[in-house]
Amino acid sequence: MLVKTQCKGRAYTGVSVSDNAVRRYFPYQTESVELELDHLLIRCGLDPKFWDGQPEIADPRLSAWLESKNFNWKPGEERVPLAMIPLGENVFRLQTFPVRKGRRGGMSQPME
């Protein structure tokens, strides 16, 4: 599934999940999910707002991982797309996409 970084101000705070993905991949009232971030596996609690139109997964360790990726985009300007791959029940791998240069020398875009 495709998710996007969530920013508050100039800092990455987590990832935003689409409403369709919430219905498809997250059983209602799931309390937490595990995210594989490179070599790290973390458990993130899901806020009750996740089920009420604000499907964001946030955690200080996730924020630090996002910041460590040093995206070409600036927080607050562009939401960076990421792949969130189901690995099991409530377990997902979060990974970046390879990027390619834009046609007119503009901003890099994720490869599809």
Q: What is the pLDDT of residue 111?
A: 42
Which residues of the chain register pLDDT less than 50?
Answer: 103-112
- Nearest to residue 66, comparing CAs of 87, 48, 85, 81? 81
In whole angstroms, how far apart are CA 10 and each of 19, 53, 71, 78? 25, 23, 13, 11
Q: Which residue has the tokens 């995206």?
A: 71
Retrieve residue 8's tokens.
């508050």
pLDDT 10s digits, 82-106: 999 999 999 999 998 765 555 444 4
Task: Compute the distance between CA of residue 94 and CA of residue 83 in angstroms, rounded to an integer.
Answer: 6
Strands 2-8 and 56-58: unpaired
